Structure 1
Amino acid sequence: MATSLRGTALRLVLTSARRVPSGIRFPLERDGVDPVPRLAASRGRDGVVPLARLLGTRVWLVTGYDAARSVLADSGSFANDVRHLIGRQDRAPAERIGGLGMTDDPDHARLRHVLAPSFTRRRVADLQDDVDRVVAAALDDMAAHGPEVDLVERFGFAVPFGVICDLLGMPTVDRDGFRRQGAARFDLRDAGSGIFDTAAGTRRFLIDLVASERRAPHLPDGLVARMVTEHGDALDDVELGGLADGVFLGGYETSASMLSLGTWVLLQHPAAWATLRRGDPREVDGVVEELLRFVCPVQVAFPRIARRDVRLGEHLVRRGDVVVVSLTGAGRDPSRHALPERFDPLSPSAGTLAFGHGLHRCVGAELARLELRTALVALAQRFPDLSLACDPADLRFTELAIVHAVEALPVRLG
């Protein structure tokens, strides 16, 4: 009975965001790009507070940078594999949950070994020309549809979608269908029906693509083709398709949100916009790192379950307790930043947890940085007088989403 209750509680936390009691929604709520004040108010002295007790399971919230880093790095004390507690593993393969974010070693190491070689600094640097080409095409499309466009549609989503399709080796003929399959994945207005189920379309698409490549190789050089060639004997279609889907999810949704929300922040800070126009690499890196801290679209990390009793700050977390790390809270920790609620690219970088930390740090972090640097500099240089084309009060942002985003960003090209 205890295990069943813990599973039910965890499902409430993870898969039914709109049914979470109103008193504990605040880690997923924002005011524009800013966390709601209650997140800071809940911080406590050590950045660790009890969030809730759901059906006998204690849920802890971590908002402090040091405590967050400690939890994310401690895979010995905290487990990521919650597949036995949520979702329905008796469903079709494409409807099951999994991937790097919800596996522990040795499975995690086995799967990460497949992806890691494609995301080294050298391999990512080799993608610069491809990213330049995708960004230039998106800017041309904006110009063709101006003088006013929705930056989310024409740029925020267009750039990472093009980059990730090139990386996967997605045939041009399949890209429209792939995009339609993924559309519902980023619409969380019906999250109460189960956010994990919305991934089935793209995952099924990629599992089928892997199976087709295994039967008759036909894909251009890319991640999917390489995985089948190099690891097809060790991993089945579901595992390889799931890995490709994780790359798609991590490289598409989060980068799309970051580009759109980041542009919205930059339009409010002319000095930072001017920095991007100048294009000095060191200054640009400072703007990008500060945007990652300040915007941090991934609001919470994958939940951890305590493997044993462990001391976290001033608190004793018991075996079986759920720990939720607020990445936005960690990025606004006043113990790490003198003015945490202020966007200031000139402030000394105190590090960001926007990509996670430790064993489960995002494998595509360097590619995401490359996209942000390239896209934002090109946008500022192509449209130096870019401005918002609506009343800021009319902007609509996602509600209770794991990945925070603005739904549309009307801009005037100038």
Structure 2
Amino acid sequence: MATADYDIAIIGAGLVGASLACTIARHSDAHSLRIALVEASVDQQAFNGEEFDPRVVALTQASQNLLDAIGVWDEIANTRVCAYRDMHVWDGEGTAEIHFDCAEVRTNYLGHIVENSVVLNALRKKVAQYTNITLIQPARVTSLVNGSCVQVALDNGELINTKLLIAADGAQSKVREIAEFETREWEYGHKAIVTTVQTELPHQATAWQRFMRTGPLAFLPLSSVNGKHFCSIVWSAETELAEDLMQLNDEEFRTRLGVAFEHRLGKILRADKRFAFGLRQRHAKTYIQPHIALVGDAAHNIHPLAGQGVNLGLLDVAALSQEIHRALERKIPLNDFSILRRYQRQRLAGNLVMMSAMEAFKRLFGSQSLMITWLRNTGMRQLNSLAELKKIIIKAAMGLS
């Protein structure tokens, strides 16, 4: 086997892993850190014209700030993004609604809807600009040995020795599995259907979400093309319903989707190919072992109803890169466990709070109790009238609290 030594090895070059590599490299040029970035898949397809990537992320202000600091936000914004200024949430089993407006916190927008491939392509270009980042692709981890350093074997025949191994390899993390990190996890009993749709009416720069007993439906605004209006949808539905929806032909699906969305944006004129994936709650009991850290979905999976998954991962990036930078400034060895302990103290509790809140929302809106439905609608109406509390919620959702 060919053997190479690195100071840091990041497994997974998706949005979180590539962001982490760039953030560390940006602060470590003077220190000449050698960074390996290992990715199992081949590069993603580029989507152009009226063809949108079905996978999108709702980036908060905090995530935008991180990407701007890396130096990729301008390219992302110049490629294709859609700012949303409002959020409109309503109870499909009642009459209550909540409206969040960026003007309430004196900003120009609440966040941006961006296609995954647009963000990733910009990050990959930035990775290529750093001479101290080595992208190894495609390659998968087959085994690892954790001693005075971590030795990682890849399926391409390479052997990596590293002082610090960071798992950013997603929900099915191979590093987490091999290193035997314990997790708490359970099935949501939902599948998420994602696709791009063309609507009759403009989306009004608004993120729309209807909560139903069978699961939430979100319409997320995309850029208009040639006067046509587009949204990305995430329909999280009970597994049996989701499977039925996936079996419908295009016209039947558009009809069911329009009814479920109460035709808020008129007719659904077109729907691209649908994709469905199961939803599972998963949280590592610890994010760290000596020489190893978990970030992003490798550490925590969350229901997509609030669109916070990638944003939580990027907050992990900010926290861990900050601790690495701090260690370099203070000449603390990268294999010093205090670096990882400080990272975990910053991130684990906050992620748990967010995950618990999302689980509570899912159960609250999934209840069939008439009393809970009445209480839920009463609470939503009261919240919608409390301007100061709404400001707190908006700032928290933007990652600025």
The normalised TM-score by structure 2 is 0.26
Higher helix fraction (1 or 2): 1
The normalised TM-score by structure 1 is 0.26
